Structure 1
Amino acid sequence: MWKSFSKLPMTNLLKNIKLLSQNKIENKRVLLRVDFNVPLTDDLQITDDVRIVKSIQTMQLLLKNNNKIILVSHLGRPQGRDEKLSLKPVADYLKKTFTQNSITLVTDFLTQSQTPNDITLLENIRYYEGEDKNDDAFAKQLASIADVYINDAFGVSHRNAASIVGITKFLPSYCGLLLEKEITAVTKIMDNPKRPLVAIIGGAKISTKIVLLEKLLDIVDYLLLGGGIANTFLQNQQPEITQKILNLAKEKNVLLLLPIDKVGIEDKILDIGPKTEKLFSETIKKANTIIWNGPVGLIEDKRFTKGTQSIFTAITQNDHAFSLVGGGDTLASVSGNKDIDKITHVSTGGGAMLELIEKGTLPGIEALKQKK
């Protein structure tokens, strides 16, 4: 008998928010907040374009309705104007994608006059101090170059930033197509998941995921732990935390599974072993709902990627489950795999996805709600 789950539903999360999918915006200057925080090589080539690809549908709809798009994104965490974190590679990518449209990269929107191109990409918004400070004066300056604001940047909607939160005070604001999909996917899992529900959580640090683990124990039937998080349990590194989680799992009737064998160097556990691969895969096979965040091995080293690939394979071979996968490292570990389309929803936000699960909302979502 699987656990029942009752709480305030997240279904109302989109209530009082204007959705682009339900409102026709035409002949406007649209400030579109996107998450084009893509990985780059040393010679500034994009290695994974999934975050750009996911927002193209919103852009195409706006162009179809004769709007001028002003794209706003960040890239990395620049200290001042770091040329290595310029959005120029993204502008070059967009020119190859939108071949029928005029596209311009604006180096400094505060000093440069705006020409009405089909698509204008503002330079890295984190070049400006007012962005991370959520400065009202800066948000007002940003708003002054547009008629309408749309948030399509789920990956940063957990940030209290000027281009996510502050700007909604100054422009009519809408939820983009991608943001709506992301919210809907998490809502489906949190409100009424088909059981059994299996969560696989990996990654380096348990300290960043304590609240998440506690929240997941309220809703999951199986919790599979790998990576550095599992090492914390297996090596008894933080007993006050690990014992609390183990006790809570028992109390909530959740089967918490840790690796039963390992691959590593000396005493370092760097991947799950073949017995654990089998145990985890058999558990995933039973699932009707799956959440996966974080690799279960040190994926930066190809010798320790086999466990993570086995998790991916098990999820994609389960053709009856609703699967939600997110997190930058997780996406990097499976990027380019031909079976990625077999995952129901690949989230563009790791931290945002986890915070939405933990807290039930995000600053960027709340900012879009129409004030009464």
Structure 2
Amino acid sequence: SHLGRPKGKDPNLKMDNVAKKLEALLGKPVKKLDDCIGEHVKNELAKMNEGDVCLLENVRFYAEEEKNDPEFSKKLAELADLYVNDAFGTAHRAHSSTAGVAQYLPAVAGFLIEKEVAVMGKALTNPERPFVAILGGAKVSDKIGVIENLLGRVDALLIGGAMAFTFLLAKGYKTGKSLVEEDKVTLAKEIMEKASARGVKLYLPKDVVVADKTDDTAGVVKTVKAEEIPDELIGVDIGPETVKEFSAVIKGAKTVIWNGPMGIFETKKFSEGTKKIAEALAEVKGVTIVGGGDSASAVQKMGYANKITHISTGGGASLEFLEGRELPGIAVLQNK
């Protein structure tokens, strides 16, 4: 496995603590080796008996790992008879340990990757309807591919988070000091037109919570209509009317995908919108999928994780999957 983003061999990013955690989870000893390739590693692995577990050192201690270097991939492959990838969170990266090694060994998916691909794949290709997508987070630019792909599949698209302000600006509303991507306003208009042409209902906030600062030190915090954001204030969350409308759409759905928080949920004052959307999702009588990253943390933090069908373990990977892109770490596996 890899750990962190080391520049060369970093003693703070060795896999020792991972080995201890793995021992606790497996309930059996885990032998941690100080390298991931080479003769010493081969010799140690040759001593293993059936049922033994060895953990190799951080593969990113070698720059060749992220370059997907064929020689490095070969050296990793020499250590095994079979390659199982169960790290969906890294499946969007074409690195030696996620893609390269599969060129030299029989390569298959683990149970987690199987579940990720099966649940999200069905939602995209053959969803129970109505199919609703909720997108949030900071930037439209991060989600363009997802929006484009989902517009041809969903019945309704709900947009919250800071990315909603670029859409509100595209509608001619003033957005105060809210985070907007002015260079994406034309794109936001095109997305709204496409949604309309395809019969997809696109929902934007009707009201928003605004504040003078984006953290706990905010002195001014109030709710205003989406078209009445004061010049000097910043949009930080969706308002109660929006929560009511979004929640009704969500609860009427049979398949829901959520990626990205509705506001600055890390700050308690601005977490209500995200919390209420998580609550609505937990009440859906159908398939609910939360893309990794911030929305997954929000659902877990708010205690609704056990009421969601599937919480993806990949942030970037689930985004790319929702964009309809082929993930290199999955493309190389034999039981796709």
Partners of 1:366 and 1:295 lie apart in 2 by 30
Is 1:361–2:307 an aligned residue pair?
Answer: no
- Tell me which of 255, 268, 279 is aligned to 1:289: 255
Alignment of 1:126-137 (within 5 A): 126-137=60-71
Is 1:174–2:120 an aligned residue pair?
Answer: no
Partners of 2:3 and 2:155 lie apart in 1 by 37
SS at match of 1:194: coil
Conserved in 2, the CA contact under 8 Å of 1:263 and 1:270?
A: yes
Shift of the 134–241 alpha-carbon distance from structure 1 to 2, 3 Å rule, reads: same
Shift of the 303–191 alpha-carbon distance from structure 1 to 2, 3 Å rule, reads: same
In structure 1, the partner of 2:77 is: 143
SS at match of 1:279: helix
Conserved in 1, the CA contact under 8 Å of 2:106 and 2:334?
A: no
TM-score, normalised to structure 2, is: 0.83
Alignment of 1:339-358 (within 5 A): 339-358=304-323
Where in structure 2 are there 5+ consecutive unaligned residues?
171-181, 213-232
How far has the Cα of 1:337 moved from its partner? 4.5
- Tell me which of 190, 194, 197 is aligned to 1:244: 190
In structure 2, the partner of 1:23 is: none
Shift of the 84–206 alpha-carbon distance from structure 1 to 2, 3 Å rule, reads: farther
Conserved in 1, the CA contact under 8 Å of 2:292 and 2:311?
A: no
Shift of the 83–314 alpha-carbon distance from structure 1 to 2, 3 Å rule, reads: farther
Alignment of 1:72-87 (within 5 A): 73-87=1-15
Partners of 1:337 and 1:325 lie apart in 2 by 13
Partners of 1:83 and 1:334 lie apart in 2 by 34
Partners of 2:5 and 2:293 lie apart in 1 by 15
Conserved in 2, the CA contact under 8 Å of 1:263 and 1:272?
A: yes
Is 1:330–2:288 an aligned residue pair?
Answer: no
Conserved in 2, the CA contact under 8 Å of 1:158 and 1:363?
A: yes
- Tell me which of 200, 211, 215 is aligned to 2:134: 200
Shift of the 84–98 alpha-carbon distance from structure 1 to 2, 3 Å rule, reads: same
Partners of 1:122 and 1:239 lie apart in 2 by 48
- Tell me which of 198, 206, 212 is aligned to 1:260: 206
How far has the Cα of 1:109 moved from its partner? 2.2
Superimposed CA distance per residue, residues 38-84 of structure 1 (whole angstroms, 9 cap, x where no aligned partner): xxxxxxxxxxxxxxxxxxxxxxxxxxxxxxxxxxx222322223344
- Tell me which amino acid in the other structure corresponds to 2:54: T
Partners of 1:369 and 1:269 lie apart in 2 by 47
Alignment of 1:311-330 (within 5 A): 311-318=277-284, 320-330=285-295
Higher-Rg structure is 2
Partners of 2:234 and 2:16 lie apart in 1 by 40
Conserved in 1, the CA contact under 8 Å of 2:36 and 2:58?
A: no
Question: Which deviates more, 281-290 or 259-268?
Answer: 259-268
Alignment of 1:1-372 (within 5 A): 73-99=1-27, 101-111=28-38, 112-113=40-41, 114-115=44-45, 116=48, 118-236=52-170, 237=182, 238-266=184-212, 267-318=233-284, 320-359=285-324, 361-369=326-334
Partners of 1:294 and 1:341 lie apart in 2 by 19
- Tell me which amino acid in the other structure corresponds to 2:252: K
Question: Which deviates more, 116-125 or 290-299?
Answer: 116-125
Conserved in 2, the CA contact under 8 Å of 1:293 and 1:350?
A: no
In structure 2, the partner of 1:40 is: none
Conserved in 1, the CA contact under 8 Å of 2:275 and 2:302?
A: no
- Tell me which amino acid in the other structure corresponds to 1:98: L
Partners of 1:307 and 1:206 lie apart in 2 by 19
Conserved in 1, the CA contact under 8 Å of 2:161 and 2:261?
A: yes
- Tell me which amino acid in the other structure corresponds to 1:325: V
Shift of the 85–332 alpha-carbon distance from structure 1 to 2, 3 Å rule, reads: farther
How far has the Cα of 1:360 moved from its partner? 5.0
Partners of 1:203 and 1:107 lie apart in 2 by 40
- Tell me which amino acid in the other structure corresponds to 1:290: V
TM-score, normalised to structure 1, is: 0.75
Name the % identity. 45
Conserved in 2, the CA contact under 8 Å of 1:106 and 1:120?
A: yes
Q: Which runs of 4+ in 1 moved over 4 A?
A: none
Matched residue count: 296
Partners of 1:326 and 1:86 lie apart in 2 by 29
Shift of the 144–328 alpha-carbon distance from structure 1 to 2, 3 Å rule, reads: same
Partners of 1:205 and 1:125 lie apart in 2 by 32
